[in-house]
């Protein structure tokens, strides 16, 4: 028969206790923060879906600030002489660019910067293909709020159009064109004058936030488990202490 189990003593030691005191609150806080971000992301996604399915409103009836994904109805003409190319945009592994052009909405008398969508552009030695309608158009677009650090536009020299950029900053666009325009990029929906308009969504989804929260909580549980494992040990399992060294006897003079 196996012998009786030795009694346990709880002595986690200083290093494990410091790891618990520092790591456990931090990892739990990070997990709760990610859960809060997931809740905010879910609420925002629901709002965006409502905006995307709401009826489009004429630009003349809207006042800034605009809501993200708000649908806008436009009636006017493009300015084909001033185009902006958002470079290094990819779809399905293909390199390409997005084409943005000023559009004058006649009923409101206001300019907007209209993103006509994405095109493949594999050879940068050739100009980006663009066909700008000259006639009056009725279009539907939606408001895109900026998600990246804008790029400050340099003043163009003669013959520099279209401008190739990485990001758009609206104040600089209208200052460059010397016009008073709407302070948001508008993205075309499928229809006349639109290229490929299946805009990619945000990389940070609700599921990703929840996954990060699970990782932080798992680290908190691991720190707690390590502290318990290190601390629980059988009584008498400590290594024996070495006997004290005897004091050396004083040497007598010969």
- pLDDT confidence of residue 140: 94
- Tokens coding 19: 């790891």
- pLDDT confidence of residue 208: 84
Nearest C-alpha neighbor of 195 from the set 251, 247, 138, 131: 131
SS3 assignment, position 70: coil
| Burial grade of 19 (CB within 10 A; 0-12, 13-18, 19 or more) | middle
| Dist. CA 95–CA 122, nearest whole Å | 6
- pLDDT confidence of residue 195: 93
In tens, the pLDDT along 34-59 reads 988 888 787 777 776 776 677 889 99
User: In which residue ranges of the chain is pLDDT below 70?
Assistant: 1-8, 48, 51-52, 147-159, 201-204, 233-254
- pLDDT confidence of residue 51: 67
- 249 torsion bin: left (phi>0), alpha (psi -120 to 50), beta (else): beta
DSSP state string for 176-236: HHT--EEEEEEEEPSSTT--B------S--HHHHHHHHHHHHHHHHHHHHHHHHHHEEETT
């Amino acid at each position: 028969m196996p012998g009786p189990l030795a009694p346990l003593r709880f002595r986690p030691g200083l290093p494990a206790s410091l790891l618990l005191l520092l790591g456990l609150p931090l990892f739990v806080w990070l997990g709760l923060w990610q859960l809060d971000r997931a809740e905010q992301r879910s609420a925002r996604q629901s709002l965006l879906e409502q905006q995307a399915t709401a009826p489009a409103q004429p630009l003349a009836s809207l006042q800034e600030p605009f809501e993200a994904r708000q649908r806008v109805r436009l009636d006017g003409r493009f300015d084909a002489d001033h185009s902006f190319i958002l470079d290094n945009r990819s779809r399905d592994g293909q390199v390409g660019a997005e084409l943005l052009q000023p559009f004058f909405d006649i009923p409101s008398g206001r300019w907007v910067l209209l993103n006509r969508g994405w095109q493949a552009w594999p050879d940068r030695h050739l100009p980006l293909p663009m066909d700008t309608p000259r006639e009056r158009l009725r279009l539907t677009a939606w408001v895109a709020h900026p998600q990246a650090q804008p790029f400050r536009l340099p003043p163009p020299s003669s013959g520099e159009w279209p401008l190739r950029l990485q990001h758009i900053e609206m104040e600089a666009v209208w200052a460059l064109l010397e016009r008073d325009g709407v302070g948001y990029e508008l993205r075309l929906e499928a229809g006349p004058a639109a290229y490929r308009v299946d805009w990619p969504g945000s990389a940070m989804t609700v599921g990703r936030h929840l996954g990060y929260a699970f990782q932080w909580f798992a680290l908190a549980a691991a720190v707690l488990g390590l502290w318990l494992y290190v601390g629980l040990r059988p009584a008498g399992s400590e290594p024996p202490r070495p006997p004290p060294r005897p004091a050396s006897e004083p040497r007598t003079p010969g």
